[in-house]
Structure formats: C-alpha cells, structure tokens
Structure 1
Amino acid sequence: MNLLYWLDPWEFSPTVVIALLVPAILFVRGAHKAKVSIRRRISFWFGLVALYVALHTRLDYFFEHEFFMHRAQHLVLHHLGPFFIALSYPGAALRAGIPFTWRQRFVRPALETAVVRKLLDVVMHPVVAVTLFVGLIYFWLMSPIHFMAMLDWRLYRVMNWSMVIDGLLFWWLVLDPHPAPPARLSPGKRVLVVIAAIPPQIMLGAFIFFTPRELYPIYSICGRAFTWLSPMRDQQIGGLLLWIPGSMMSVIGALLALRHWMRLSSRGRLRGERRVQATPGLTQPASVPASGQR
C-alpha cells in the first residue's frame, strides 16, 4: 500500500470535491492579485488539505469504526483545518479570485440581502459563537445522537459538515487581525470568546475519559477497526483528544488573538485610541502661564 491508496476516498462524495475545489481555485486565482505572503499560502493549503484528508480519504473507514479516530477527525474538521484557513486571512484572495462581473452581479447583492446580514449578525454574536462552537461538540457526542449519526450516512455527513462550517465561522471571528470595525468584534472580545470555549471542552473530555462505562457502543456493534484496542481504552483516548489537543488549540487561538490586540494597540489602531489621537486637545496638556503673569 502506498500514499495514493490512503488518499483514495473510502466513499466518493462529489459534495466534498466541489466544496473544497471551489475555494482552492479561487485562492489560486486571487492570491497573486491580493499579494498573499508565502506563510499565509502555506497556512491556507495546509488547512484545506487537512479538511480533505479528514473528509475524503480511506481514513474515513477508521473514523467510522473507532471512537478515538472519530475524535481525531473532528479535531481536524472543527479545530485544525478551519484554524489554519482562518489564520491565512484568505478573504481578500478569495474575493479577488471571483470574476469582477460575478462579484458585482451575484456575490455583493447576495451578501447585502437582509436575510444574509441578519444571519451573520446572529451566528457571529460572541455568545452565539461560543455556544455553537461548544454546543455542537456536546450535541454530536450525546450517546443517542451519536449512535444515530454513525448509522445514517446522511446524518453522518451533516455532522461532519456542521463541524467544518462552525469551525470556519468561529476561527474566522477569533483570528481576524483587524480592529473593530471592520472586524465584528473588538480584539479584547475576541480573546474572551476563545477563552470561554476552553472550560467546557476540558469538562467534556474529562467526563468521557473518567466515565467507567462504555458511552458509545455503536463502535462495538458495527465492528472495530482495531480489535486489539478495548472499548474503554478507545473511549479514554478519544476523551483525551478532546480534553488536551482540543483545549490547546483554543489556548493557541487565544494567544494569537491577544497578539493581534497588542499589535493593534501598539500601532494606535484601536477605536478608543484613534478617537484620542484624532483630538489633539485630549493628548496635549493645557498651557500654564508663566510665574507672575495674569
């Protein structure tokens, strides 16, 4: 078996191919126009390839037949892949990759509709963003829900794509390097948002790790890929993947958001600092008359 064998999809999905091929083409077309750096290009391609590997390779068999492999898959779909894509700040390149006439006739009118703007305002609200980011992990790991998702291929794909889309929205919001506006959240709020997502992940991972009973018997019913690994050991490794790497990704995200905050502050690009700088009377002390003068 060689690398091509593992890259061959376990179940071919045209949806995955199209969904990943379109942004790849747009990025190739627009990266030169938007003057994207080599570091950002590497980050984008790493994230996109990671999503492809987690969605459309032979590894999908193992994702469906071992709990810890399933958690590794969602670690990539919800954290690693979207994180590196958002870290590359690809918005300008993706826009530049769309033909100008298409942007004027289709993309801009669609984004300016009331429905789309309201939807983005809701999902990008800090409380909603944290709730969705953590809530989806909890929801899909509820034993009855997880049992059905692993049996029904349609629900299985909804589960995976919900993690990808939510991961992209969350990390795009958190890792935005711009001040607010044009960013939706101020740098300080971006730090708080990602920090708020850490404790629930730790608690759920620890609960799965320390639970003395099998929470996800679906893997034993359908047959395990690794027969030498006991169900409880498999569950413990899965809990650790959520507990430690998942939480560490959020810590790294918080540090990067803090770095953006400090960078913007040092350059005087925060909204409050811009207002002070724009008003000279607030930054210069009032003149004091010399002694003896009236």
Structure 2
Amino acid sequence: MTLLYWLEPWEPSPAIVVVMVIAALLFARGVRKAKVSAARQASFWFGLAALYVALHTRLDYFFEHEFFMHRAQHLVLHHLGPFFIALSYPGAAMRAGIPFAWRQRFVRPALQTRYVRATLDVLFHPVVAVVLFVGLIYFWLLSPVHFVAMLDWRLYRVMNWSMVIDGLMFWWLVLDSRPTPPARLSPGKRVLLIVAAIPPQIALGAFIFFSPRELYPVYSICGRAFTWLSPMRDQQIGGLVLWIPGSMMSVIGAVLALRHWMRLSARARLRDERHTHVPTSAGTQIVAHADR
C-alpha cells in the first residue's frame, strides 16, 4: 500500500476540499504581504494538514469502525489541528490574502453588522466558550447520540465539523498573544479558561475507561476494523485518549497562555516605568535650568 492509497478519501466530500483549498490559498497569498515567520508558517500548514488527514483520507474507515480511533480523530479535529492553526496566528495573513476590494465591499461590512457582532460576542464569552468546548465532547459521546451519529453520514459530518469549528474558536481565544484590547480576553482570563476545561475532560475519560459495560455498541453492530481488539479494550483505550492526550493538550495550552500573560505583564511594567521616569527627568532639567 502506497502513501497515495492512504491519502485517498474513504468517503469523498467536496465541501472539505473547497474549505481546505480556500484556507490554504488565503494563507499562502497573505504570507507574501504580511510578515509571518517560518515557524508560524510551519505551524499553520501542520495544523491544516492534520485536519485534512483526519477528515478526508482512508483513515476515516478506521475512525468509523473503532472507538479509540474515533477518539484519536476528534483529538486531532478538536485539539491538535486547531491548536497549531491558532498558534500560527494566521488572522493578519488570511485577511491580507483576501483581495482588498472584497475586504472593503463584503468582509468588513459583514463583520460590522449588529447580528454578526452580537453572535461573536456570545460565542466568545468565556463561560460560553468553555461550556461549548467541553459540552460538545460530552454531547457527542452520549451513547444514544453517538449511536445515531455513527450511522447517519450527514450527522457524522456535522459532528466532525462542529468539533473543528469549536476547536478553532476556543484555541484562537485562549492562545491570543495580544493585550486587551484588541484581544477579547485579558491574559489572566485566558489561563483560567483553559484550566477550567481540563477537569471535565479528565472526568469523562476516566468514566469511559473504568466503565464496567460497553457504552458504544454501535462499533460491534457495524463491524470492527480490528477484530483482535475486544470491545472493552477498545473502549478503555478510547477513554485513555480522551483522558491523557486530550488533557495534556489543554495543559500545554495553559502553559502558553501563562507565558503570554507573563510577557504582557513584563511589557506593561516596562511601559509604566518609562512613564514614571520621564516626568522625573523633565523636572530635574527644569530645576537645573532655574539654578543657572
């Protein structure tokens, strides 16, 4: 089996291809105009490639037929891919990638409408953001909901896209390196936000791991990709994927948010010190001039 074989989509989706191509073109075009370091470019392309692999390759067969593979898919869609895209801070580059006339005529007026701004204010509210981030994981892992989502291809795609979109919004919010404003949250709130998302993920992963019964029989009904792996072992590995790697990604995010907080605090202290020293120097010069 060649690499090309694994890159072929299990279930082709034109929507995924269109979205990925548009994102890639906007970023590649914007990099020519905006200053984007090599590390940030690598972070963006890695995150975008990870999303594509998790959404539109032959691996999707295994994601649909093993619970632990499904959890690995959502780890990429909700944590890893969006995390690296947000870490690249692609906003300026992607805006620069949009033709100026389009930005003036369509993008800016759309973003300034009352309804769009109100919607963004709600979605990016810290309480709503953390509830959505954790709540979507819980919702799609409810046994009845999960059963239907894995059988209905339309709901399956809604589930995956909801994880990607929510992951992008959440990590974009907490990994913002700018001061407030223009950032929506203060550096301290960003740290608290990601810390608040860790315990529920650990609790759910531990519950799935220690559960004495099979919670997701849909994989046994539809047939498993790995016949040598028992349903309970599959479920336990899936619980561990949610418990450990998912929580560790959040811990890394918290560390980066804390680093931004310390950097911005140090910058604010330096700015305050400069403002304090300027009047003193001016006063000294006035006194010296008077003595003359």
Give 2:116's aligned residue: 116
- Corresponding position of 1:242: 242
Shift of 1:32: 2.1
CA–CA distance in structure 2, aligned partners of residues 111 and 191 of structure 1 = 27
Q: Which residue of 2 aligns with 1:48?
A: 48
The 2-side partners of 1:44 and 1:150 are apart by: 29
TM-score by length of 2: 0.93
Q: Does residue 190 of the first structure (1) align with residue 166 of the second (2)?
A: no
In structure 2, runs of 5+ residues without a counterpart are 284-292
Q: Distance in 2 between matches of 1:268 and 1:34?
A: 26
Following superposition, the deviation at residue 280 of structure 1 comes to 4.1
Quick check: 1:175 aligned with 2:175?
A: yes
In 2, the alpha carbon distance for the partners of 1:4 and 1:266 equals 49
Residues of 2 paired with 1:119 and 1:93: CA distance? 24
1:213 partner SS:
coil
Q: Show the counterpart of 1:30.
A: 30
Match of 2:258 in 1: 258
Structure 2: how far apart are the matches of 1:40 and 1:31?
10
Higher helix fraction (1 or 2): 2
CA distance in 2, matches of 1:232, 1:214: 6
User: Structure 2: which amino acid aligns with 1:81?
Assistant: G
* Counterpart amino acid of residue 89 in structure 1: Y
Q: State the shift of 1:229 in Å.
A: 0.2
Equivalent residue for 1:96? 96
TM-score by length of 1: 0.93
Please give the alpha-carbon distance, in whole angstroms, between the structure 2 residues aligned to 1:23 and 1:52: 12
Shift of 1:268: 1.4
| Cα deviation, residue 277, structure 1 | 5.7
What is the match of residue 10 of structure 1? 10
Amino acid at match of 2:132: L
Query: Who is 1:225 aligned against?
Result: 225
Q: What is the count of residue pairs matched by the alignment? A: 281
Distance 1:216 1:13 in 2: 26
* Shift, 1:279, TM fit: 6.3
CA distance in 1, matches of 2:85, 2:22: 14
Rounded to whole Å, the distance in 1 between the matches of 2:160 and 2:115 is: 25
Deviation at 1:35, TM superposition (A): 1.3
Distance between the aligned counterparts of 2:90 and 2:140, measured in 1? 29
Q: Secondary structure at the match of 1:164?
A: helix
The alpha-carbon deviation at position 278 of structure 1 amounts to 8.4
What is the alpha-carbon distance in structure 1 between the residues aligned to residue 235 and residue 92 of structure 2?
42
Q: CA RMSD in A?
A: 1.7
How far residue 266 of structure 1 moved from its aligned partner, in angstroms, is 1.3
SS at match of 1:146: helix
Matches within 5 A, 1:210-221: 210-221=210-221
- Give the C-alpha shift of residue 19 in structure 1: 1.0
CA distance in 2, matches of 1:88, 1:153: 32
CA distance in 1, matches of 2:204, 2:151: 23
Partner Cα distance (2:257, 2:276) in 1: 30
- Give the equivalent residue in structure 1 for 2:79: 79
User: 1:280 & 1:227 partners in 2: Cα distance?
Assistant: 71
1:58 pairs with 2:58: yes
Give aligned-pair identity as a percent: 80
Q: Distance in 2 between matches of 1:73 and 1:279?
A: 51
Take 2:253 and 2:131, find their aligned partners in 1: how far apart are those partners?
A: 17
Distance 1:223 1:191 in 2: 42
Report the equivalent of 2:149: 149
